[in-house]
Amino acid sequence: MEIKPLLAPTLKQRLVEFRLQLAVAFSGETALPGARDDRTSAGQCAVAALVLRARFGGDLVSASHWGVSHWFNRVRTEDGELYDVDVTGDQFGFAPIRVAMGGTLFPRTIVRREDDVLDETWARAIRLATRAGLAELIPALGRAVEDRSAGDRTTPTRRQVIRTSTSSLARARGSRRTPRTVRPSESLPG
């Protein structure tokens, strides 16, 4: 009897698994400097969006919410549909994972470029990927840092950023948070 491989997980399942990996890795070292909140994902939106883009592809997008810039992603599914995906919605009291048709999650959403991302945010994204056990994504994140710093000696090189992230991981190993339960949002597509 031949065993057939399992079907590939749906987008919803993959996002829940991804968010669980990020949630245990969120820390003060990966948060926006100065972000102070008891919510796990507070100050993590841009780094989570960068790591999600490295995993699922798509575009970085942002919108103003509560007077602050909030970053998330726009991904295209295999059937060609565009979805806005936010894996840090709980910092605003929403479900941790929110998915909606492209352009409908937040009003006045704009597509962002890699150049719009601050160098320290790239470094925090590499740190988040490292802490989350997503080392396979670090080359994609590091390449972006390297491309940006090609003509700028003050920007950290990819090797410097990865070395810093690796030492951060070693320090954090003893203080990992316990995973929080993530409930899939009712608005996720099947």
How would you write the pLDDT of the chain (190 residues) with one tens digit per residue?
A: 343 332 235 778 899 999 999 999 999 999 898 777 667 788 999 999 999 999 999 999 999 988 889 999 999 887 788 899 999 999 899 999 999 889 999 999 999 999 899 999 999 999 999 999 999 999 989 876 666 566 554 444 444 444 443 343 334 333 333 333 333 343 444 4
CA 41 to chain centre: 10
Asked whether residue 182 is assigned to any structural domain, the reply reads no
Residue 188, in any domain of the structure: no
In this prediction the pTM is: 0.73
Residue 115 lies in a domain: yes
Domain that holds residue 106: 11-175
Residue 159 lies in a domain: yes
- How far lies 146's CA from each of 26, 70, 71, in Å? 24, 25, 22
| Cα 124 to Cα 81, 103, 141, distances in angstroms | 30, 27, 10
Strands (E), 41-89: 59-65, 68-76, 82-86
Question: 128 with 25: CB under 8 angstroms?
Answer: yes
Residue 64: inside a domain, yes or no? yes
Domain count, the chain: 1
The reply to whether 130 falls in a domain is yes
